[in-house]
Amino acid sequence: MCGRLRAVPLTEGPHRGSHVDPGAPRVIQEWDGTEWVTVSITPDLAAAKAVLYPAPPREQRPAEWDRPALGEGTGRHRRTAPAEDQDR
């Protein structure tokens, strides 16, 4: 799987869970198919998570829906007319 990213803390000793030292700088690495290649360096865990998990793009809704206008008549699932209008 090429293009996979990971964040490795720049601390001494074995690499432990990310929660151990959230203020430590992190190196962002990408898997190129044979080895991990350094892509960038981030100042802390929050910045590393922003690189690894970017926010999904927001869908913009149109001002009006693309639905057809209601036609004439009293079709199925339409609101019934008030009682005084039914006598006509």
Task: HSE, CB side, 13 Å, CA atoms: give it for residue 84.
Answer: 0
The reported pLDDT for the residue numbered 68 is 61
Domain range enclosing 7? 1-12+23-55
User: Does residue 66 sit within a domain?
Assistant: no
User: Please, what are the averages of pLDDT over each run of 10 residues along the chain (88 residues)?
Assistant: 84 83 93 93 94 87 64 62 62
Strand positions, DSSP E, the chain = 5-9, 26-31, 36-42
User: Does residue 27 sit within a domain?
Assistant: yes
Number of separate domains in the chain: 1
User: Does residue 50 sit within a domain?
Assistant: yes
Q: What is the pTM of this model?
A: 0.61
User: Does residue 40 sit within a domain?
Assistant: yes
User: Does residue 85 sit within a domain?
Assistant: no
